[in-house]
Amino acid sequence: MYQSQRNEEYAGEAYYGDSSTHASPPTRTRRCMIMVAASLVAVLVGGVAVDRIAAARAEGRTAEAFQDGTGTADRPSVHVRGFPVLNQLAAGRLDHVDLTAHDIPAGGSTRPLPVTRLTVGMDGLKTSGSADEAHADGVTASAFLSYADVSRALGVQVSQGDESGRVDATASLPLVGDVTVSASVSAAGGNRIAFTDVRAEQGELLPPLKSLLDKALEEPIPLQNVPEGLRLRSVTTTEDGIDARFTGRSVTFHPDSSSA
């Protein structure tokens, strides 16, 4: 009786031990599932690659249209948001596009003020059949104007003021000396930047220096080559320059898109 029970225990141990050391081979169903999963991964990877190629082409066309419209020496950087891009292209409308351009020239003005850096966010971007034009339903943009560029445009040395929203302007003349005034910076109509509330800060405001500063600061300075449809909303001063904020509806980018 006792021996029989021990034999049963040994038999059970042998059975379980054998099952734990020998894995059953994959079934045909499992192999099929693995093959299907691998095929789906390959299709998805291929689809992403094709979509990325389409996005790159759309980015290139948008950059070309913007470069033609503003005359930048270097091609702007462009990023198309959203996935899949192919569906957006099929609908003829990109949901959102971010663009950054540098050194936008401003010719044809007595006081040309180039845009040092322009960042643009475009919603509902549509491109024409040719690469020289693009249209956006809504746009927000920020233009950075370095003090070096502002100084060259105004003919006086401009730097950050001691108070927020103000700049210092220094005029210099041989045999006369230097004088520095502080001016408030604000947005004016026609996409222009105005310098108002001028206060003497340092030096004697002699007539020749006053005349030089009046010529530089009395008239608002226009921002040229800003895409048609953008409107200047506000300006702020920073350590290195002036930030100008724009918004616009129904904005077009094409070779004659200068707003000034």
Instruction: Give the type of residue at 215.
Output: K
pLDDT number for residue 202: 82
Distance CA 36, CA 30 (A): 10
206-221 pLDDT, tens digit each: 888 888 899 999 999 9
Distance CA 120, CA 98 (A): 6
Q: What is the mean pLDDT of the chain?
A: 78
Q: Output the CA–CA distances (angstroms, integers) from residue 151 to 5, 14, 156, 223, 251, in the order listed.
A: 103, 92, 5, 14, 30
79-123 pLDDT, tens digit each: 887 768 777 777 777 888 899 999 988 876 677 888 999 999 989
Q: Are 113 and 149 in contact (CB under 8 A)?
A: yes
Q: Are 185 and 235 in contact (CB under 8 A)?
A: yes
128-152 pLDDT, tens digit each: 555 456 678 899 999 999 999 999 9
Diameter of the chain by CA atoms? 128
Considering the entire predicted model, what is its pTM?
0.72
For residue 71, name the pLDDT band (cuts at 50, 70, 90): confident
pLDDT number for residue 87: 78
